[in-house]
Amino acid sequence: MNINLTINGKSYSQDVEPRLLLIHFLRDVAGLTGTHMGCETSLCGACTVELDGKAIKSCTMFAVQANGAEIVTVEGLANDGKLDPMQEAFWNEHGLQCGFCTPGMIMAAKQIIDRHPSPTEDEIRHGLEGNVCRCTGYQHIVNAVKAAAAGAGK
Amino acid sequence: MIAQKFEYTAPKSLDEALHLLSSGAKPLAGGMSLIPMMKLRLAVPEHLVDLRALKDLNYIREAGGQLHIGATASHYEIESSALLRQKCPLLTETAASIGDVQVRNMGTIGGSVAHADPAADYPAALAALEAKFVLKGAKAERTVSAADFFVDAFSTALQPGEILREVIVPIDDARTGTSYKKMVQPASGFAIVGVAARVRQNAGKVSFVRLGITGLSNHAYRATAAEKALEGKPATPNDIQNAAALVTQGVDANSDLHASADYRRHLAVVHAARAIGTAISRIA
């Protein structure tokens, strides 16, 4: 089946099998390997991308379902070599150790401040429930989201 | 994990979808349960009909003194609906407790209800709300009550070729308080046990109670013995405890690696008392 979608502002038109998962389209067809395949069972959130403005798990969606959609992956955040404020905040606040969960964390974190420009700690933790980090214990990730929200408000 | 091969159609209209479904295709909504099952090959549909893009299934509106929710309204759309927050806060509270943000962005009320997972959250709220479900096939449409809809684990009153088109819930008056309390299974976000309470008071006494229970047995149900025990009482802590103790009456409790049957029964009683107490505290 032929699908057309936009990823990070670039159009793709491709013939795909209906069973191809969106994450495989992103990584293997579009060559965007920033989105990580973690658990493959919809639990860990490492594969989170933005689909038409909403954070979704790309391992639990077929590429054909994204026909006509606009997708943003972690590669689409930096602008002209300048990191997105959320990326900057993860760096400054040491919001990662091994970094495997980070692309998904950042995409979920961006959804939090899209919906709650000044999030409470509860809103941040609730917003990160779908993302698992096995290194940090989450505290620095929560701090990073707070810092990004504070910076974005300035 | 790659699903078995299948054919995929994104129909332009509900009629086209129903025509395909009547020839054996299976409906796909948010896919939050179906796609993981397909990846594990627990489900191997030959043809999927994607309902998500059908605009005439996606709405939340008030009409005729009731609230009408289209099947493909997502959990996030329900959780963030100002209309539902004001007129049916039990549903927004329940939707906000489902899974995680990503799941709520994709998952739909129609998909969740039609899938009828015994640990799903909505069925408790919809049982307590005495919701009605509009089921549509290629030829006819019918309305089924929540009590008759949930038949068994993953089994509903839906016939082959039918879809759940709409969920209808009542609008309660201001003397009604509601609450949903769940013991969450932390990996999946599903309810080990969940209790939805809907309580009305009149002149210092409980005049109306509806309790919906999920996770305890093969399908959500209303705990009618507990409801009767509380109605007419002033709802002292003792009254609430005595009523909550009856929520498991006559129910065959499930047992799995997350919780034994005895523990589930215990959780149901504890969460029923909390849900009733919170519901009463919210009465305006």
Query: Is 90 exceeded by the pLDDT of residue B188?
Result: no
B106–A61 CB contact, under 8 Å: yes
Query: How far apart are the CA of B43 and the nearest CA of chain A, in angstroms?
Result: 13
Q: Is A53 on the interface with B (CB under 8 A)?
A: no
What is the structure's pLDDT at B244? 98
Instruction: Read off the pTM.
Output: 0.96
What is the structure's pLDDT at B1? 87
Question: Would you say B20 and B161 are in contact if contact means Cβ atoms under 8 Å apart?
Answer: no
| The domain over range A85-152 is classified in CATH as 1.10.150.120 | yes
* Tokens standing for residue A145: 């989201």
Strand partners, B35: none
Q: Is A107 on the interface with B (CB under 8 A)?
A: no
Provide the CA B277 distance to its chain's centre, in angstroms: 21
What is the structure's pLDDT at B187? 84
B8–A62 CB contact, under 8 Å: yes
Q: What is the mean pLDDT of residues B86-110?
A: 97
Query: Exposure of A96 by Cβ count < 10 A (0-12 exposed, 13-18 middle, 19+ buried)?
Result: buried
Q: Which of B4, B5, B102 sits opposite A56 (nearest CB)?
A: B102
Query: How far apart are the CA of B217 and the nearest CA of chain A, in angstroms?
Result: 24
Q: Which amino acid would we find at residue B114? A: A
Summarize pLDDT for B122-168 with one digit per residue, the tens. Answer: 999 999 999 999 999 999 999 999 999 999 999 999 999 999 999 99
Query: Is 90 exceeded by the pLDDT of residue B58?
Result: yes
Task: Please provide the distance, in angstroms rounded to a whole number, between the alpha carbons at the two ends of chain B.
Answer: 51
Query: Is 70 exceeded by the pLDDT of residue B192?
Result: yes
What is the structure's pLDDT at B19? 96
Chain B residues touching residue A56 (CB < 8 angstroms): 102, 105-106
What is the structure's pLDDT at A152? 65
Every domain of chain A and the residues it spans: 2-76, 85-152
What is the structure's pLDDT at B186? 86
A108–B102 CB contact, under 8 Å: yes
Query: Is 70 exceeded by the pLDDT of residue A154?
Result: no
Q: What is the mean pLDDT of residues B208-219?
A: 97
Spatial distance between the Cα atoms of A66 and A59, rounded to a whole number of angstroms:
12
What is the structure's pLDDT at B148? 97
**Domains in chain B, CATH or no CATH each:** 7-50 (3.30.43.10), 55-169 (3.30.465.10), 176-281 (3.30.390.50)
What is the structure's pLDDT at B174? 87
Summarize pLDDT for B4-32 with one digit per residue, the tens. Answer: 999 999 999 999 999 999 999 999 999 99
* Tokens standing for residue B236: 């002292």
Q: What is the mean pLDDT of residues A76-92?
A: 96
Class at the top of the CATH hierarchy for domain A2-76: alpha beta
Q: Is B55 on the interface with A (CB under 8 A)?
A: no
Q: Which of B7, B32, B101 sits opposite A108 (nearest CB)?
A: B101
**Mean pLDDT computed over every residue of chain B:** 96
Percent of chain A with pLDDT over 70: 98
Query: How far apart are the CA of A127 and the nearest CA of chain B, in angstroms?
Result: 6
Q: What is the mean pLDDT of residues B255-260?
A: 95
For helices A85-92 and A139-152, angle between their N-to-C axes, nearest 10 degrees: 140
Q: What is the mean pLDDT of residues B33-44?
A: 96
Summarize pLDDT for A23-44 with one digit per residue, the tens. Answer: 999 999 999 999 999 999 999 9
pLDDT band at A122 (very low <50, low <70, confident <90, very high): very high
Q: What is the mean pLDDT of residues B202-228?
A: 97
Spatial distance between the Cα atoms of B227 and B230, rounded to a whole number of angstroms:
5
